[in-house]
Chains A and B, each alone.
Chain A
Amino acid sequence: MSAWPQLDLTDVATFPSRRVEAWKYSDLRRYLKAPPQPSPSAALTGPGPFCDLGGEAIVFVNGVAVGVDAFVASGEQALRLRFVSDAVETGHSTGVRVSARAGAKLLLLESHEGHGSAYVAHNRLTLDVAAGAEVTRIVLVEEPEDAISVTEAQVKVAPGGRYRQTIVATGGSLQRLETQVAHGGQGADVRLDGLYALTGDRQTDMTSVVDHLAADGQTSQLTKGVVRDTARGVFQGKIVVERGADGTDARMGHHALILGERAEIDAKPELIIYADDVQCAHGNTVGNLDESALFYMQQRGIPLDEARALLTQAFLIEVVDRIEHEDAREVVRSWLTERL
């Protein structure tokens, strides 16, 4: 995203502060003044939210791989990628590489399962989507409210590849979910969605950069969020259309509800276009629930709290409805509904 060095939990000099533009809403150095002690090893707990969908699994507990730590998909496959943290005031890092060969259809079911408290987790995913391959990455993030986590995904979508991503997060003390997409164009099609529902003093930061490197690529991005209490949602979406990437079609939307007087949204959508013949649009709205809709619902007998919950869920569920894989969509739907 910038010339800033790769984050390294053992080196405080790599912790970005808000003076680094890409981190201005997530001042890691303010939250993390010194490198954390390394997390001890821990036992794996629970089956994870995607256990009913089967498939292969890559599991990390406190940064340590339980089995393999890389995966190559060919044909139609499902892979559960579990980042489990079970630590108290310690830190751990991990990196994983996943690739989908030409013609592969990979359903990547990623979960961040946090136990313990005040840990620091740093996860890096490198994902290669070959020409003619399709990857759907679905990420569910649930961490303690005092946890710090940074997840960085580097996604390379080859010309003609398809990539679908949906991240759903409930926040942490400082939670950064970053996606960088190198978009190969030539019919490559990227959908990059996000959803956050934050309560208490939680924060989440959904940051993405999509770099259209060649002509005729599509990107569709929809992020929705709701913040209550003193929670804070951050959305930074950047779409770059490089010189020569004509015929690019890129759409970005971020829409949020602020349901607490002291809750906050920081949104920064950016389109940077160096090509001439492109279609790009972005929309960003922040608001409250519609008072006339709330009254209408109450007038029909729905109590105010229930009306609010129904409208909030209806607002967010649009993102879930965009998940094409039916079984995964239903897992996400019930996961989210239980947490609203």
Chain B
Amino acid sequence: MLKISNLHVSVGDKPILKGLTLDVPAGEVHAIMGPNGAGKSTLGYALSGRPGYEATEGSVDWNGENLLDLDPAARAARGVFLSFQYPIEIPGVPALTFVRTALNAQRRARGEDEVTAPVFLKMVKAASANLKMDFDMLKRPLNVGFSGGEKKRMEILQMALLEPSLLILDETDSGLDIDALRIVSEGVNALRSPDRAMLVITHYQRLLDYIKPDRVHVLAAGRIVASGGPELALQLEAEGYDKYLPQAA
């Protein structure tokens, strides 16, 4: 399970997270909601190890290891997956090559055998069919010229193939129309399992209609200021974040 204790993170000289504490047990889906600028994306980047997001205090325990001691690729090999709000375009690297390189790098890091090309192709064909993705699209450079919905589907496809145990979804609903949102959410829901923890970062309650959380936390001014069940999300949708702002200040 994930145990974040008193996490302080700075970007440059600016403190963003200021003592964030949060437990996510395996098998649970936790939503992180909060106003703009609260530090939601910073949390995702800090957990996945983005350069420039420096943890100055606290720890992130993941299955007995402090994630903060590991580089981003080592964290990925231990199951950490950050789904980007704006997935990056990688010109010149076909999506298939990219995912296979990632999968085999993770397997090597874990001391497992690499997946051969035919086996990999079979895996991808099945996974892309589930997401109603055009297989030919995967021969194109990763995310280059993809629509917002296609990029998010590509993220879900990578999740399905890499099988992470800690999923962090950063504003996955942004830029999606209702149909794409449904397909993406179904993809995420299909990955719910007793040995997988999920952190769903979102500004709006809308996504949580599709991906039902076990717990909802409010992140404001760099800390968790309230936690509750799914009903908390509905309350936030109705009342806004205003009441949490003075409390956090």
Question: Interface of A with B (CB < 8 Å)?
Answer: 290-293, 295-304, 306-307, 310-311, 313-315, 317-318
Task: Report, as a range, how many residues of chain B touch the other chain.
Answer: 20 to 34
* Chain A residues near B48 (CB-CB < 8 A): 299
> Closest Cβ of chain B: how far from A31's Cβ, in Å?
35
The docked-state distance in angstroms from the alpha carbon of A313 to that of B97 is 13
* Chain B residues near A304 (CB-CB < 8 A): 71, 73
8 residue pairs from A and B, CB less than 8 Å apart: A290-B88, A300-B81, A301-B73, A303-B105, A304-B71, A311-B93, A315-B91, A315-B92
Q: In the bound complex, do residue A298 and residue B101 qualify as a contact, i.e. CB atoms below 8 Å apart? A: no
**A301-B162 contact, Cβ under 8 Å, with A295-B50, A306-B101, A310-B101:** yes
Q: Which residue of A lies closest to B45 (CB)?
A: A295
Partner of B82, one of A297, A299, A313, A315: A299
Known A300-B76, A302-B102, A307-B73; further 9 A-B contacts with Cβ < 8 A: A295-B50, A295-B51, A299-B48, A300-B99, A302-B101, A303-B105, A310-B93, A314-B141, A315-B92
Q: In the bound complex, do residue A296 and residue B162 qualify as a contact, i.e. CB atoms below 8 Å apart? A: no
* Chain B residues near A306 (CB-CB < 8 A): 101, 105
Interface assignment of B84: CB less than 8 Å from any CB of chain A:
yes
Interface assignment of B121: CB less than 8 Å from any CB of chain A:
no
The 9 closest A-B pairs by CB, nearest first: A314-B92, A301-B76, A301-B106, A298-B72, A300-B102, A296-B88, A303-B73, A298-B73, A301-B102
The docked-state distance in angstroms from the alpha carbon of A232 to that of B18 is 46
Q: In the bound complex, do residue A314 and residue B105 qualify as a contact, i.e. CB atoms below 8 Å apart? A: no
The docked-state distance in angstroms from the alpha carbon of A300 to that of B103 is 8
> Closest Cβ of chain B: how far from A33's Cβ, in Å?
43
**A298-B71 contact, Cβ under 8 Å, with A291-B51, A303-B105:** yes
> Closest Cβ of chain A: how far from B100's Cβ, in Å?
11
Proximity string of chain B (15-43) to chain A, C-beta cutoff 8 Å, 1 when within and 0 when not: 00000000000000000000000000000
Q: In the bound complex, do residue A297 and residue B90 qualify as a contact, i.e. CB atoms below 8 Å apart? A: yes
> Closest Cβ of chain A: how far from B83's Cβ, in Å?
10
Interface assignment of B77: CB less than 8 Å from any CB of chain A:
yes
* Chain A residues near B165 (CB-CB < 8 A): none
Q: Which residue of B lies closest to A310 (CB)?
A: B93
> Closest Cβ of chain A: how far from B182's Cβ, in Å?
25
Interface assignment of B128: CB less than 8 Å from any CB of chain A:
no
Interface assignment of B123: CB less than 8 Å from any CB of chain A:
no
Interface assignment of B158: CB less than 8 Å from any CB of chain A:
yes
Q: In the bound complex, do residue B87 and residue A299 qualify as a contact, i.e. CB atoms below 8 Å apart? A: no
* Chain A residues near B81 (CB-CB < 8 A): 299-300
Interface assignment of B248: CB less than 8 Å from any CB of chain A:
no
* Chain A residues near B87 (CB-CB < 8 A): 296
**A296-B105 contact, Cβ under 8 Å, with A304-B73, A318-B92:** no
> Closest Cβ of chain B: how far from A34's Cβ, in Å?
45
Q: In the bound complex, do residue B92 and residue A299 qualify as a contact, i.e. CB atoms below 8 Å apart? A: no
Interface assignment of B109: CB less than 8 Å from any CB of chain A:
yes
The docked-state distance in angstroms from the alpha carbon of A303 to that of B108 is 11
Proximity string of chain B (42-64) to chain A, C-beta cutoff 8 Å, 1 when within and 0 when not: 00000011110000000000000
* Chain B residues near A297 (CB-CB < 8 A): 90, 98, 102
> Closest Cβ of chain B: how far from A318's Cβ, in Å?
6
Q: Which residue of A lies closest to B103 (CB)?
A: A301
Most buried by B among A293, A296, A299, A314: A299
* Chain B residues near A299 (CB-CB < 8 A): 48-50, 72-73, 75-76, 80-82
Q: In the bound complex, do residue A301 and residue B158 qualify as a contact, i.e. CB atoms below 8 Å apart? A: no
